[in-house]
């Protein structure tokens, strides 16, 4: 959400570069942590160079990343995060669900429903007897 919409482009750009650098380092590649005083064009160029080295395509102008938010920023971060997961050999597993136990509330509700049905039956019988 932070990188999807504009809030503070200068801050978002710096956070994007910092996060991208961290992710690149997590893949085992060396990437210097960017500073706010760095040339934004050089930083973007280096991030995209790393992204391409992983085999990801970049079919948008680098200037799209300068804003620090938007679809392209999210794309770059998503690709880098995916590379980190590959690097650490992360794999998804099926969730293990605990065995379901019957709640006491369910039993109480069932009893209440039976009692209500019994009362309705008794009312129906008494109204038939009263009509005779």
* Residue written as token pair 């039956």: 121
| Segments forming the whole domain that contains residue 17 | 9-87
Predicted confidence band at 68 (pLDDT cuts at 50, 70, 90)? very high
Q: Sign of torsion, CA 66 68 69 72?
A: positive
**Looking at the structure, do residues 69 and 28 belong to the same domain, yes or no?**
yes
**Looking at the structure, do residues 56 and 17 belong to the same domain, yes or no?**
yes
Angstrom distance (rounded) from CA 86 to CA 107: 48
**Looking at the structure, do residues 124 and 78 belong to the same domain, yes or no?**
no
- % of the chain residues with pLDDT over 90: 66
Asked whether residue 17 is domain-assigned, the answer is: yes
20 versus 96: the higher-pLDDT residue is: 20
Number of domains composing the chain: 2
pLDDT of residue 124: 73
**Looking at the structure, do residues 33 and 82 belong to the same domain, yes or no?**
yes
Quick: pLDDT tens for 14-53: 999 999 999 999 999 999 999 989 999 999 999 999 999 9
**Looking at the structure, do residues 115 and 62 belong to the same domain, yes or no?**
no
Q: 88: which 2 tokens?
A: 């650490």
Output the CA–CA distances (angstroms, integers) from residue 13 to 52, 60, 79, in the order listed: 20, 17, 17
């Amino acid at each position: 959400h932070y990188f999807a919409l504009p809030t503070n482009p200068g801050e978002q750009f710096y956070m994007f570069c910092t996060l991208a650098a961290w992710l690149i380092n997590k893949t085992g590649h060396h990437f210097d942590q960017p500073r706010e005083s760095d040339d934004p064009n050089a930083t973007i160029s280096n991030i995209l160079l790393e992204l391409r080295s992983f085999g990801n395509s970049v079919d948008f102008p680098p200037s799209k990343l300068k804003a620090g938010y938007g679809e392209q920023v999210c794309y770059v971060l998503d690709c880098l995060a995916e590379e980190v997961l590959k690097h650490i050999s992360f794999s998804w597993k099926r969730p293990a669900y605990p065995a379901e136990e019957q709640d006491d509330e369910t039993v109480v509700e069932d009893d209440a429903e039976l009692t209500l049905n019994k009362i309705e039956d008794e009312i129906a019988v008494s109204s038939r007897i009263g009509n005779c």
